[in-house]
Amino acid sequence: MALLDVEDLTAFYGTSQALFGVSFAAEAGQCVTLLGRNGMGKTTTVKSIVGMLATHRGNVRFDGKAIGEWPSYRIGQAGVGLVPEMRQVFPTLTVHENLVACARMRDGIAGARKGAAWTLDRVHALFPRLSERSSHLGSQLSGGEQQMLAIGRALMTNPRLLILDEATEGLAPLVRAEIWSCLAALKSEGLTLVVIDKNIGPLTRLADRHYILEKGRIAWSGDSQALAAAPDVLHRYVGV
């Protein structure tokens, strides 16, 4: 049984339909991607999964439970963590306050995965720069530091599933490499990942399966080997 199972997801912004029967799944411990050009429905899919956008039709199941009508806070409490597009750290809170504000003990999450729980010390060990900048406001951080903080904040909820919307967008190459290394380490620990990003090379090395969205529909799906063997698919649906 998939940890995350999205079936026939349909969603609207007002009277404008944005998703047309999107279906995909992520097994426990897998990394899957949502690919496609801007405006094709990737972020809308994420918003529907985490309860930020009401679904018109379809099912979202997490660990076998239908969560499609749950409020966002309850979905987070169930073990779904989100690193949102544009990071959205709390600008007037310090790095330390951003992290502890979202902390949730693993004992409160049913079916929590095995391994060490995420604490402030573990996040600092993963991203030492956050420890160095602990007393700085979120607004005083660089883009790369804000992304580290957004990931650390999500990990402090001790999620079973981590969704990253534009994981490395706008970051310097060295920072991007650090983020990809971090995600590989999280996957090796058994954390399930759903990743949106435009950097195909690192994604094909990290992910088990890819789903390409085109105008609110799944246009293609397959593993990394199949994606690498289909440059026409990348050119048609992902390339600029």
Residue with tokens 């094709």: 40
CA neighbor of 88 nearest in space, from 138, 160, 161, 45:
138
CA–CA separation, 234 and 240 (whole Å): 10
If you average pLDDT over residues 178-186, what whole number do you get? 97
Find out if CATH 3.40.50.300 is the number for domain 4-237.
yes
Domain boundaries defined on the chain: 4-237
If you average pLDDT over residues 102-124, what whole number do you get? 74
Rounded to the nearest angstrom, the gap between the alpha carbon of residue 74 and the centroid of all alpha carbons in its chain is 17
With bands split at pLDDT 50, 70 and 90, how would you rate the model's confidence at 106? Answer: low
What are the residues facing 60 on neighbouring strands?
Answer: 6
Indicate yes or no: pTM above 0.85. yes
With bands split at pLDDT 50, 70 and 90, how would you rate the model's confidence at 1? Answer: confident
Please answer whether residues 23 and 220 qualify as being in contact, where contact means their C-beta atoms are separated by less than 8 angstroms. Answer: no
